[in-house]
Amino acid sequence: MAGAASRPRAGAPGSERRPLPLPVRLLAMLCAFAFMVAFAVVLAKLTLQPSPASEALTHSNLRPGSSLKAYLDQPELRDAVRQIGGNILLGVPFGILVPVVAPRTRGLLRVLLLTAVVMLLVEFAQGALVTGRAFDIDDVILNTAGALIGYLLLGRRLSRAVHARKPRRERAGKATASS
């Protein structure tokens, strides 16, 4: 137990994480990029595919909570779970992969903002270009909530493992040197 007591705590001086070896980091980035491309294809197939049979039933929703209420008012709980859960699950990969693929987006606010912008664009495309689909602000909210879950569960850790930050002393030294 003496070794455990002498080990530096996280955040303590001298406890900076060592970055993963470069080949491992490159492989992780390549895998994350491949998964991001696959995610984009799945997202496009799920959201941008015309649904002519639904054309008469679709309407845009600009009022947050309106579609959620409609989902929850459905007689079958399974349908509500599928709608709400599906939209949340659609955002999870984004929260995991974005901070790994684009390290400058690391950080809760940046991931959420980027997710909201991308999902808004998807919803605008759905509403403007796709038959039988409509813009729904609740889908954007649920997708962004999914990204938050993905980021908190795995995205933050993966990003830190792949893109180790420089120790604070090094960053502070560069900031004062460039002044």
pTM for this model (two decimals): 0.73
Query: Is residue 158 included in any domain, yes or no?
Result: yes
Please tell me the predicted confidence (pLDDT) of residue 9: 47
Query: Is residue 54 included in any domain, yes or no?
Result: no
Considering its fold, how many domains does the chain have in total? 1
Query: Is residue 136 included in any domain, yes or no?
Result: yes
Query: Is residue 142 included in any domain, yes or no?
Result: yes
CB 164 within 8 A of CB 17: yes
State the CB neighbour count (10 A cutoff) for residue 38. 12
Domain that holds residue 136: 87-164
| Mean pLDDT confidence for 13-39 | 78
Position 2, amino acid: A
Query: Is residue 172 included in any domain, yes or no?
Result: no
Please tell me the predicted confidence (pLDDT) of residue 56: 62
Tokens (6 digits) for 32: 């994350």
Question: Nearest 5°: CA angle at 169, between 166 and 172?
Answer: 90
Give Cα separations from 109 to 5, 11, 18, 75, 167 (angstroms).
36, 22, 25, 37, 22
Query: Is residue 25 included in any domain, yes or no?
Result: no
Query: Is residue 82 included in any domain, yes or no?
Result: no
CB 138 within 8 A of CB 66: yes
CB 28 within 8 A of CB 100: yes
pLDDT tens-place string over residues 34-45: 888 888 888 888
pLDDT tens-place string over residues 117-143: 999 999 998 888 888 788 999 999 999
Alpha-carbon distance 17 to 159, whole Å? 13
